[in-house]
Copies of this chain bind each other. A is one copy, B any other.
Amino acid sequence: MTDGRMRAAVLLIGDELLSGRTQDVNLQAIAKFLAPLGVQVAEARIVSDEIPEIIAGLNALRGRYDYVFTTGGIGPTHDDKTADAVAEAFGVGIDVRADARQILETHYKSGPLNEARLRMARIPDGAILIDNPVSRAPGFMIGNVFVMAGVPSIMRGMLLGAARHIKGGVVVETRTVRGKGLREGDLAEGLKAIDDKYPAVSCGSYPWFSAEGIGAHLVARSADISALEAATGEIVALVRSLGVDPEMIADAS
């Protein structure tokens, strides 16, 4: 991107996410992993285990963002269709690859490397393997697309391997001010004025409701740290002006 930011999309693949059977946790993990590298997740899509859906999502996203990270659909069963969909999206062939097969052969010494397991060695032509430190069957990178497993522990392992292929951008930092008793309707005007005054800073308000009562988190995000600190100072003053004690909270993302 021309502004020095790198933007990524996440494509989560799996019927189980859409049926509600499984609660996705990968999007948040990917976003938090990428932020310190200077890559912002700008869009995400969740599609079913159908090749046309995967291709459509992938092609829409890979042209638009610096990187795409997919999760899910690279296991040994018939509903694992991601590698084939990626090959088709890129217009390249796909077959069992010697280096991927070698990884599986080493891992499955104690079990049969049958046709199903060999599916996990099918890699689109031209892809780079991504190491899987958890269960060995690799992910891969092709073009600007990282293809990772859906199981969260495996996905996180693959992210570590993916990192050295990621060219980061400017790092966007976040400051979060928590105000117990803060009501959005009271702070909206003041927050908008701060957001308008600092064009490099994006301000957001996130209300919370809990046993403790109500309140809001006011979040400022920017790659321009001096503007960020100035805006945060004004947010703190705004909260105080509403009779609420502002609390800075740690927020890595």
CB pair B46 A18 closer than 8 Å: no
- Segment of A124-132, A205-213, A232-240 engaged in the interface with chain B: A205-213
What's the least CB distance linking A147 to chain B, in Å?
Answer: 17
Rounded to whole angstroms, the CA-CA distance of A184 and B114 in the bound complex is 11
Do A117 and B185 contact each other (CB < 8 Å), given the known contacts A23-B28, A31-B18?
yes
Shortest beta-carbon distance from A233 to chain B in Å: 19
Answer yes or no: A187 CB below 8 A from chain B CBs: yes
Q: Are B35 and A19 in contact (CB under 8 A)?
A: yes
- Of the listed stretches A72-80, A89-97, A160-168, chain B binds A72-80
Report Cα–Cα, A28/B115, bound state, in Å: 34
Cβ-based interface call for A144 (8 A):
no
A24 partner residues in chain B, CB cutoff 8 A: 24, 27-28
What residues of chain B lie closer than 8 Å to A77, measured between beta carbons? 184, 187-188, 191-192, 204-205
Q: Can you list 5 pairs linking A and B with CB atoms under 8 Å apart?
A: A20-B28, A108-B185, A111-B183, A114-B185, A119-B188
17 extra A-B contacts, CB within 8 A, seeds A21-B219, A108-B185: A17-B44, A20-B30, A20-B35, A21-B251, A24-B24, A43-B45, A43-B46, A43-B53, A75-B205, A77-B192, A78-B191, A111-B186, A112-B186, A114-B185, A117-B188, A119-B188, A134-B209
